[in-house]
């Protein structure tokens, strides 16, 4: 397969590619809005038809108790060739506030190299480049099947929480058996700084309640002589970090996969402007976090504990001089590679129990958790994908991670396969916001990278 | 003046006393309810008429921008005799919840030695015994005027915050000139443990706001890398006390009048059951406070800092993984004898500014303050009142203080006179609650003590 052939095919297919994508983008597949459930189904149907038209031998609509996913499979000729699940989603975010859009969100518009509209970047555009990649790879290689078995799985509920996704994966576990999962739902550092995500932090969530007296007490009669649950809460939460900004839960860092020197060095090559970043952080005035780590390391690769909410006692206007009966806090932990949400929640429960003063009763309710996901930069899949990206972009590809995550860990855990993030969205694409856009040349680069990726995977994952 | 004569007069006058008091108690003088403003005025008028009937040479209604007070003066024969302001109030608390009353709140009922109804103890009954005392003293001494000049000041807005009381005192400052202020609006330890209050804690109130980013931030993107105002609030408030339960504001204890060994010894004689007290404190499980002090010392004679309310971030159902933009807390300080609310508020503001971490902006709004009031147990007025109480009760009189206060400090400060608390209410009188009652024999003891008090004051305050 010659680079020239792939590039030529993709360039020749550009207009058709954009025209087809625009047709899909006109379907308002907003999964969070029940009024658009029919549109999400229509979007799944449109995609299934399109995939059949592209030559996929198998195309199915996979129903869930919510909204449907689309599954398509194109087997490699070689029965021993690796299999790859390509994950994306065909549902989109709501479009409010509508009056901040310069164009109609579901009437996609080309503005030079840009394609503007809901779903252009997140995630229809990024799913779509895989089809162009596949056709280009077949054309350039002169074969009728890709070098790896492609299993395309396009979810319909990602933007509303992927409520039925894990169950869907378990149901179809056998058919989804694979050697790697390619995720095309993230971003690169910048148009001229191509990069690959290698991990996403997980999440553990808990709510703490501290109870003191059975009723609010008059602080004149009782203040200073009985424990105050708000004092206990302040002391508890203040003790959650040490002076170096480290989380004090015993064993909290034990399972964290440490950053390698190489990864830190590659992170450091990213042209990161901390002042710009602080401005984007609601005008935060200083960077602050775990000692010994940079801002990017802190938000991508280190676990954290955050108080998301806290309340108790009198919170209305004026003064009410009470010793309140209880105090509450919502705490969440962002988990780095290697950590287990349930283990962190249990450690937190034990720690709260141990740090609750006499006369105060503590209750911790753990609620939900998301496992972190991570692919080492020296793993076979990541290395192969980096080569494919570098062939397409003609420059060094760096690495990023993401601070939060969606259903990615489920893919890794249930399918028991490494994740490889190949995506060409930009942070400036305004995903989830008005005037979402995508850079068409980057979608074409994505197609090119994906075409090489199947070739690279064919040997690397064997 | 012979004890026998005073006692005989009071016993003979009992039924008339109770009958007159019951008539006054039928007037629902609820100052907090604008619908009862007319009743509060009627109560003032009734009292003024009654006082004229009792022989007071001067009786006046003192108007305020709110509800009226009653002033009555009965000069001593000796122009050099001391003058005493007797303070009480003729307004009463609301009566809700009405269905918890066993009798109609404004249809006072005698049940053996008890008189049941709103205002029986707080404060009409306790004002009323002074009239009986005065008549008994005159009868027993055979004179036409008391041994000290009596200046009776009966407020009409005490139960709704005494909003215009300080101004009233300033307006009539010259006429209220006195050598002591007798307060008859508190309680004794118990019916068989007569005691006198010697001080009331003051109050300083403040609200703290800590501001971080200009908007709530996604904790996946920014958590662990910028300051979180809720963390800062937890650390700030946790630092407000040290490990010994002492308030850490610099200089906080500097002005506090220390407890004397004698006062501590007398407090310790009170039959205090800490388990009972904890039960009354909303079932609190342990006593906790400043190290080195007993519970009674903590709530009466030591200053405290309490968090009355705290809030910030997500406080609704479910999880919202944010770094919140701001955090809030309401803090109040109970002030012991010697402390100044404004000084404490300023120390708190300075302390918050100093303890706010970089990247977080702090604002402290101080709101209102009440000065503490205090009369040393070895002061002339307290010693004289104790002698009078001991003559009436025939047993040792102990001392208490109160954890909170009303307008008492204004009386002491504006009239520049020591406060002397002579009252016979009980903690079990259910003041402010349904089924308020008073023990009639204690009201008569109060009358007896007051009769002796004027005699004692005539020499002690000269």
| Segment A32-42, tens digit of pLDDT | 999 999 999 99
Q: Do A282 and B230 touch (CB under 8 A)?
A: no
Name which of A212, A222, A341, A402 to mutate to probe chain B: the one with the most chain B Cβ atoms within 10 A of its Cβ. Answer: A222
Give the residue numbers spanning the domain of A238: 202-256+303-370
- Same-domain check for residues B129 and B242: no
Averaged pLDDT, A64-91: 97
pLDDT at residue A357, as a whole number: 96
Query: Which is nearest to A367 in space by CA: A304, A308, A289?
Result: A308
Q: Are A219 and B299 in contact (CB under 8 A)?
A: no
- Same-domain check for residues B313 and B230: yes
Name which of B202, B276, B307 to mutate to probe chain A: the one with the most chain A Cβ atoms within 10 A of its Cβ. Answer: B307
B62-102: pLDDT as tens digits: 999 999 999 999 999 999 999 999 999 999 999 988 999 99
- Same-domain check for residues A345 and A440: no
Averaged pLDDT, A204-223: 94
- Burial of residue A197 (CB within 10 Å: 0-12, 13-18, 19+) is buried
Residue of B nearest to A404 (CA): B220
CA distance A58 to chain B (A): 37
- Chain A residues in contact with B238 by the CB 8 A cut-off are 231, 234-235, 237-239
Q: Do B284 and A359 touch (CB under 8 A)?
A: yes
pLDDT at residue B2, as a whole number: 59
- Return the residue matching tokens 């062939």: A391
CA distance B235 to chain A (A): 5
- B346, B370, B394 — which closes off a domain? B370
Q: Which tokens is B257 given?
A: 């009048």
Given a cut of 80, whether residue B317 has pLDDT beyond it is yes
Mean pLDDT check: name the lowest of A331-340, A413-422, B404-413: B404-413
- How far is it, in rounded angstroms, from Cα A120 to Cα A439? 9
Averaged pLDDT, A197-214: 96
In a domain, B286, yes or no: no
A9-38: pLDDT as tens digits: 999 999 999 999 999 999 999 999 999 999
- Chain A residues in contact with B231 by the CB 8 A cut-off are 237-238, 240-241, 306-307
In a domain, B261, yes or no: no
Mean pLDDT computed over every residue of chain A: 95
pLDDT at residue A251, as a whole number: 97
- Chain B residues in contact with A213 by the CB 8 A cut-off are 281-284
In a domain, A291, yes or no: no
- Cβ neighbours of residue B133 under 8 Å, at least 6 residues apart? B10, B446, B447, B448, B449, B450, B451, B453, B454
Given a cut of 80, whether residue A424 has pLDDT beyond it is yes
- How far is it, in rounded angstroms, from Cα A32 to Cα A91? 9
- Same-domain check for residues A248 and A352: yes
Mean pLDDT computed over every residue of chain B: 95
Is omega for the bond preceding A444 within 30 degrees of 0, making it cis?
no
- Same-domain check for residues A247 and A101: no
Mean pLDDT check: name the lowest of A174-188, A313-327, A332-346, B173-187: A313-327
Q: Do A307 and B221 touch (CB under 8 A)?
A: no
pLDDT at residue B369, as a whole number: 87
Q: Are A44 and A68 in contact (CB under 8 A)?
A: yes
Residue of B nearest to A405 (CA): B220
Q: Which tokens is A206 given?
A: 């808990």
Q: Which tokens is A449 given?
A: 């990278």
Residue of A nearest to B404 (CA): A220
Q: Are A454 and A77 in contact (CB under 8 A)?
A: no
Residue B365 belongs to what H/E stretch? Answer: strand B361-370
Helix (H, G, I), strand (E, B) or coil at A195: strand
Given a cut of 80, whether residue B1 has pLDDT beyond it is no
Name which of A210, A225, A278, A405 to mutate to probe chain B: the one with the most chain B Cβ atoms within 10 A of its Cβ. Answer: A225
- Same-domain check for residues B72 and B154: yes
In a domain, B272, yes or no: no
Facing residue for A281 by CB, picked from B213, B236, B402: B213
- Same-domain check for residues A236 and A157: no
CA distance B317 to chain A (A): 10
pLDDT at residue B112, as a whole number: 96
CA distance A74 to chain B (A): 36
- A342, A370, A398 — which closes off a domain? A370
Counted domains in chain A: 2
Residue of B nearest to A201 (CA): B220
Averaged pLDDT, A73-80: 96
**Cβ neighbours, 10 Å, residue A402:** 20
Q: Which tokens is B16 given?
A: 């008339």
Residue of A nearest to B405 (CA): A220
Q: Do B238 and A238 touch (CB under 8 A)?
A: yes
CA distance A341 to chain B (A): 15
Q: Above pLDDT 70, what percent of chain A?
A: 99
Q: Which residues pair with A150 in a beta bridge?
A: A74, A84
B206-248: pLDDT as tens digits: 999 999 999 999 988 899 999 999 999 999 999 999 999 999 9
Q: Distances from the Cα of A50 to the Cαs of A43, A59, A138, in angstroms?
A: 10, 10, 17
Helix (H, G, I), strand (E, B) or coil at B158: helix
CA distance A1 to chain B (A): 40
- Same-domain check for residues A46 and A28: yes
Q: Do A403 and B201 touch (CB under 8 A)?
A: no
CA distance A268 to chain B (A): 16
- How far is it, in rounded angstroms, from Cα B219 to Cα B213? 12
A336-386: pLDDT as tens digits: 999 999 999 999 999 999 999 999 999 999 987 899 999 999 999 999 999
Given a cut of 80, whether residue A2 has pLDDT beyond it is no
- Return the residue matching tokens 């899949």: A381
- Same-domain check for residues B366 and B376: no
pLDDT at residue A3, as a whole number: 58
DSSP state of A83: E
Q: Are A63 and A144 in contact (CB under 8 A)?
A: no
A85-135: pLDDT as tens digits: 999 999 999 998 899 999 999 999 999 999 999 999 999 999 999 999 999
- Chain B residues in contact with A320 by the CB 8 A cut-off are 308-309, 330
Residue of A nearest to B245 (CA): A224
Q: Distances from the Cα of B169 to the Cαs of A406, B179, B373, in angstroms?
A: 68, 15, 16
In a domain, B137, yes or no: yes
Q: Do B306 and A357 touch (CB under 8 A)?
A: no
Averaged pLDDT, B174-196: 96
Facing residue for A288 by CB, picked from B308, B359, B367: B359
Averaged pLDDT, B375-392: 97
Residue of B nearest to A229 (CA): B307
Give the pTM.
Answer: 0.90
Query: Which is nearest to B374 in space by CA: B398, B391, B399?
Result: B399
Given a cut of 80, whether residue B368 has pLDDT beyond it is no
- Same-domain check for residues B166 and B28: yes
Given a cut of 80, whether residue B33 has pLDDT beyond it is yes
- Same-domain check for residues B54 and B154: yes
- Same-domain check for residues B71 and B183: yes
In a domain, B267, yes or no: no
**Cβ neighbours, 10 Å, residue A169:** 22
Q: Can you list the alpha helix ranges (DSSP code H) found in B320-361?
A: 341-355
In a domain, A141, yes or no: yes
Confidence of residue A1 (pLDDT cuts 50, 70, 90): low
- Cβ neighbours of residue B407 under 8 Å, at least 6 residues apart? B155, B158, B162, B165, B166
Residue A169 belongs to what H/E stretch? Answer: helix A165-171
Confidence of residue A462 (pLDDT cuts 50, 70, 90): confident
pLDDT at residue A452, as a whole number: 97
Facing residue for A213 by CB, picked from B233, B284, B321: B284
- Cβ neighbours of residue B31 under 8 Å, at least 6 residues apart? B37, B40, B66, B67, B91, B92, B156, B157, B158, B159, B160
CATH number at residue B352: 3.30.70.360
Name which of A220, A237, A402 to mutate to probe chain B: the one with the most chain B Cβ atoms within 10 A of its Cβ. Answer: A220
Q: Do B224 and A283 touch (CB under 8 A)?
A: no
Q: Which residues pair with B151 in a beta bridge?
A: B73, B85
pLDDT at residue B120, as a whole number: 98
- Burial of residue B187 (CB within 10 Å: 0-12, 13-18, 19+) is buried
Q: Distances from the Cα of A441 to the Cαs of A18, A60, A126, A438, B93, in angstroms?
A: 11, 30, 12, 9, 77
- How far is it, in rounded angstroms, from Cα B248 to Cα B237? 10
CATH number at residue B86: 3.40.630.10
Residue of A nearest to B215 (CA): A282
Name which of B204, B206, B222 to mutate to probe chain A: the one with the most chain A Cβ atoms within 10 A of its Cβ. Answer: B222
Residue of A nearest to B320 (CA): A308
A291-301: pLDDT as tens digits: 999 999 999 99
Q: Which tokens is A166 given?
A: 């894990």
- A370, A394, A416 — which closes off a domain? A370
Q: Which tokens is A293 given?
A: 């780590």
Helix (H, G, I), strand (E, B) or coil at B226: coil
pLDDT at residue A197, as a whole number: 97
pLDDT at residue A406, as a whole number: 79
Q: Do A220 and B313 touch (CB under 8 A)?
A: no
In a domain, A419, yes or no: yes
């Amino acid at each position: 397969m010659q680079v020239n052939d792939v590039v030529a095919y993709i360039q020749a297919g550009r207009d058709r590619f954009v025209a087809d994508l625009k047709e899909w983008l006109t379907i308002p597949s907003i999964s969070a809005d029940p009024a658009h459930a029919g549109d999400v189904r229509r979007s799944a149907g449109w995609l299934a038809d399109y995939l059949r038209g592209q030559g996929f031998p198998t195309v199915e609509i996979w129903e869930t108790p919510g909204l449907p996913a689309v599954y398509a499979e194109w087997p490699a000729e070689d029965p021993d060739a690796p299999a790859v699940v390509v994950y994306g989603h065909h549902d989109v975010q709501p479009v409010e506030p509508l009056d901040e859009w310069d164009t109609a969100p579901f009437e996609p518009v080309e503005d030079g190299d840009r394609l503007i509209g809901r779903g252009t970047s997140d995630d229809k555009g990024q799913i779509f480049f895989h089809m162009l990649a596949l056709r280009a790879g077949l054309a350039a290689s002169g074969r009728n099947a890709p070098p790896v078995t492609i299993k395309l799985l396009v979810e319909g509920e990602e933007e509303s929480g992927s409520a039925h996704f894990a169950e869907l994966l378990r149901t179809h576990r056998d058919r989804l058996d694979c050697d790697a999962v390619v995720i095309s739902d993230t971003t690169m550092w910048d148009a001229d700084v191509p990069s690959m995500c290698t991990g996403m932090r997980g999440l553990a969530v808990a709510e703490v309640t501290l109870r003191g007296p059975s009723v609010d007490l008059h602080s004149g009669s009782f203040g200073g002589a009985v424990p105050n649950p708000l004092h206990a809460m302040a002391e508890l939460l203040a003790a959650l970090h040490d002076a170096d900004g480290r989380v004090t839960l015993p064993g909290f860092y034990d399972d964290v996969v440490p950053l390698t020197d190489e990864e830190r060095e590659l992170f450091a090559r990213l042209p990161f402007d901390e002042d710009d970043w602080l401005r984007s952080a609601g005008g935060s005035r200083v960077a602050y976090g775990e000692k010994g780590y940079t801002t990017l390391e802190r938000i991508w690769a280190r676990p954290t504990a955050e108080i998301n909410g806290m309340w108790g006692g009198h919170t209305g206007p004026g003064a009410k001089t009470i010793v309140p009966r209880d105090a509450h806090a919502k705490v969440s932990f962002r988990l780095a590679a290697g950590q287990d949400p349930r283990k962190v929640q249990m450690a937190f429960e034990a720690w709260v129990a141990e740090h609750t003063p006499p006369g105060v009763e503590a209750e911790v309710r753990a609620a939900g958790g998301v496992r972190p996901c991570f692919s080492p930069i020296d793993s076979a899949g990541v290395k192969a994908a980096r080569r494919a990206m570098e062939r397409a972009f003609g420059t060094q590809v760096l690495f990023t991670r993401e601070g939060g995550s969606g259903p990615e860990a489920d893919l890794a855990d249930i399918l028991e396969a490494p994740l490889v993030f190949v995506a060409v969205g930009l942070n400036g694409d305004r995903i989830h916001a008005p005037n979402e856009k995508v850079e068409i040349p980057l979608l074409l680069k994505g197609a090119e990278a994906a075409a090489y990726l199947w070739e690279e995977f064919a040997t690397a994952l064997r």
